[in-house]
Structure formats: C-alpha cells, structure tokens
Structure 1
Amino acid sequence: MAADPYATLGVARSASEKDIKSAYRKLAKELHPDRNTDNPNAAERFSEVTRAYDLLSDKDKRAQFDRGEIDGDGNPMGFGGGGFGGGGHQGFGGGGFQSEGIDLGDLFGGIFGGRGQGSGPGASFGGARSRAAPRGNTLQYRLSVSLTDAAKLAPQRVTLGDGKSIDLKLPAGVEDGTQMRLGGKGEPGPGGAGDAIVTIQIEPHAFFKRDGDNLRLDLPISLDEAVGGAKVKVPTVDGAVMLTVAPGSSSGKTLRLKGKGMSRKDGSRGDQLVTLEIHLPESDEDLIRRLEGWQDTRPLRAKLGV
C-alpha cells in the first residue's frame, strides 16, 4: 500500500505549499545520497520523500489525493499498485528515480549552492536522475593588496578555505572593489565544485595617493635645492629614481614621471605626479643673516586682488 505523502514529509493535511517545500528541503538535505554513502537506507528514504513532494507540490494531484482518487504514488485507486499498465515509479535500484514535476537542480540550489552544470534531464544526481545536478556553493574572499602591488600587478599568494594556496595574478586596471572569479575553487557539490569570488581591497599608502591611473606624491625639497636646482632622489612604486629640480623651482610645481603610476586596463601604466614642497628651517641664524637686507619685490599676491 502506498505511503501517505503527508506522513512521509511530516506535515499536516492543511500544510501550505511553503510548509511542504520547507519540509522537503530539510529531509532532502538530511537524506541526500551523497551525504549518506554509508547508509543504504538513505537512498530509499530520499526516493520516498521526493515522490511525496512530487505529488503534494502538484496542486491537481494533491487535490486528487485528498479526494481519494489517487494513492500516494499517484496511481488511480482501484487499479492496483502499478496504475494503468503497472508503470509506477522506480526506486534507486530499479533503473534510477525520475523526479516528475520538480527541478532538483533548482530545489537544491538553496541547500548546496546554485544550479549545476549537468547535462540536462538525464544528469546523474548521486544515484537519482534529475534535470541538473547542483554545483557547490560560491565562496567569498576578501584580499588586501598594497597600493604598490596593485600598481605593478605583483602576484598575490592566496590561501583558500580548503587550506591550499594559489598564486593569483591581478587583472590589468585593478581597482578597489575589483572582483575575480576562480572557477571550481568553491565548495564541492553533486554537480562539481562551485566558484570562489575574490574581492580586491587596495590598502592606502603612507605617501602615494591615487588619482585615477596616476599616483601623486608631495616631495619636500630644501631652499637651496629650489633656488639653485638639484638632482634629488624620489620614491616610486618600482623603486627610487633621480629627479631633476630646475633652478628657481617654487612650491606647488608638479613634475611628471611617465609610466610610474597605476596599471591600466590596456596594460599600460599611468604616471607619477610629483609636487614640490619647499621646506624652510626654523630659526636658522645663518639663513637669516644671508637674507638680511634682501627683499623680493615681485607682486606675488596681485592676482588675488591684495
């Protein structure tokens, strides 16, 4: 005699569609064959709860069962357990279980992850047959990257949730918030492992400031370097370089170092913009004596109207 589908799922006859689906999700998660390889009875129970859900999730079949027109296997009452022609459902040992009216790939998406990459209606689902075996869950990672590494696209060593480490190549034009998808590096699932999503977080730098594809740097210079000119050492993300300061340079003057900025999407690099800042010593008696009697008579603030 066919089992009562309500009893099989453990729900009342007045249960809503939501209650029925929730009960099935819980049981299917517990009884899924891939999680019960050492329990041969799990496959049979999984088959039973799936048949019960097939019937109760179909409004017409549920109504027919409630009226006593069909049994728990969906066979018309009074025509024998096999129904018309004795077809009926087959268990896991009888040629595979064909779920009717339910997309197992969609249903298990909330349990094991998104829809899998199975081969359609005939895809194997741990001994059952389904439309698509679901892949494992997508895993989310956040990777902190230094500004200098982001500019140079330096390889990053990443340790995943399974403890394995991989070398990650940053994409050209990487920015704060850029996401990278690692295929097959997520949680395992019946239809294969899911993916991993790595979100890049670029850390602020002590003295470099990003400006689009360029990097900005405020460079302190002395009064004598500004007045007489000089060659000064300047830091870049690629290492220090020598920069020529022309005689008579003022604070605020900006010099350009080509190709020393951030990576662009086309593979090129932006520039580094170096702004000069003249730093005067405090209470330098020698400097005061040297400037005694000298005065700059240029109208430096005339354009400001003062």
Structure 2
Amino acid sequence: MISSTILRRVAVGACVLVPLSARAQNSQTAAVFLRLPASTRALALGDVYSAHGGDEAAIFYNPGQLAGADTRSAGVSVQRHIQSTALASLAAKFPLGVGVLGIGVHALDYGSADEVAADPGSGLGSPTGRTVSATDFAAAVGYAVSRGRLRAGGSLKVVRQQIAGVSGGAGAFDAGVAIAIWSDAGLALSVNNIGGRITLSGASAPLPRTARLGLASPSGKVGPVRMRAVAEVEHERERQTGIAGGAEAVWAASNFITLLGRIGASAQDESAAASLAFGGGLAIRHFALDYAYQGFSVLGVTHRVGVRWWAKRP
C-alpha cells in the first residue's frame, strides 16, 4: 500500500496544475510538472520567457533563444513548492561549432514517507518499516544557431515519472525561433513537449504540448533605470489560451554591481497559483543571485532562489 502522504502530495500537485476545464472533461495530460517554472527569473516575470530569455534557461522555454547571447552561462535554482515538495532546475549553455549547445534538467521531488501495508482484518494499515517516494524528472539537450536577426533551435528531452515502485517515461521534442525586430525588441514562437505519451500502471496520457507566442519590447531608460516589458500568449493541450506579461527593471549601481526588479502577471485563471508574481536580483560582475515569489490561493506561498554565472565567448 503506497503511503497516503505521498499520494496526497501527488494529488494536490495535480489538482493545482490540471485545469478545471480539463478535469470537467475527464481528460488530463501526463507530467504536469512540465508546466511549472524552470527559472527564477522567468517565475518573477510571470513565467513569460520565450522572447525575453537568452540565457541557459532558454532550454526550457524556447531553445532558439539559446543563441540569443554570445556567452557561456550556467545556472541552478531551487523552489520549496506546495505540500513540502521541492522543485529544482539546472541548465548550462556554451558555444559549439556554428551555434550554441544547451543542456538542462528539471525535477520535482515529492519527498518520501513511511510505507503502510493494508490490514483487511482491522481495516487499518500498519507500517512496513520501508519508505516510498515519488519524483518527476526531465532532461534536455538542445542546439541553436543565429543568422542575422533570426535565431532558431530545437531540443530533445526525456521525461520520467516515478511513484513508489511504478514508473514510466517518454521522449519529446521542443522547437523555437526568435527574430530581432528593432534594437533589442524581439518576437518569438516556440512549441514544447511535441510527441510522447507516458504510461503508468496501464494508464496512458500525452505530455502537455504547449505553444507560446512572445514579444519583448525594446529596452528604455527611466532616469538611471533601464526597463523592458514582455508579453506572451500561451496555448496548451486541453487548456484555455492564456495571456501573461511582465517587466524587468535594471539599475547599474556601479561598474560591477547591478540591481534588478521583476514583476509578472497572468490572465489565465485555471490553477490555484496566484496571478501575480514578483522578485529581484543582485549581479556582481559575472555572478547573479535571483529571487522570486508566488502565492497560491489556498496553499500558501512559494519562494524560489537561483544562482547564475556567465562569461563572454573567448
């Protein structure tokens, strides 16, 4: 008998992430953790990152944007999620040949709990002395090239889910393009989780295929602060189309210290996550510490912290 604690964490996570409309139609997708933010910067911007992100986290949102900056970079972020679960992401990118190679890992750990065996006589369970756990995991590798104003790329990923002794997995493909319109303004299109179905205990479901159309405004100065706005339209399999947006403010306090502020909002009201998120960051030379906050309507709040490093191409 699987621990009720683990089942409750998995069930609550699914209820938070699976839209009400899909549940009403008795139709769901697998690996709903792929909907969760994979970057601290992205979370603080309302998870709007297909047109804005040119760092290593682009591997999770728009692989074409891996070629958005001629740098090497790496980052890791951790978020204490709902019901004592933990969400973490790790990514890196570096120039290779005529383009840029990116790698990334995204995981949700539901923790562990004591295993309880059913006792038909008493109707109660008894501990077995063993523990059970549940984990969702995705690993991706991608490549992107840049030609003039156009950037394009793709990535292959492996997705695995494990609950106690039951596990399943699938392969998928992401593709994305971005084009510079003027200055640093850009338009981007990406499609994630193409193909693949996960089967657990005989039940099969497709991955949450998602299409994003994003727009990033040109940077503008308000006094000493440089501002940039982003917006995105997102459509996911079996979900309503959603609109989200965000803004980032950057202030160079000195030649090697930069302060950042971010805010994001979503108009899609299909999950328990609050529509507003915010955060900030501190960059010192080639290192940055980022923070993001998001609330849930009935399940408290979550905090995400990330660390990044980058360097120009030698």
**Which is richer in helix?**
1
Instruction: Return the TM-score normalized by structure 2.
Output: 0.19
* Larger RCO, structures 1/2 (Cα 8 Å, 6+ apart): 2
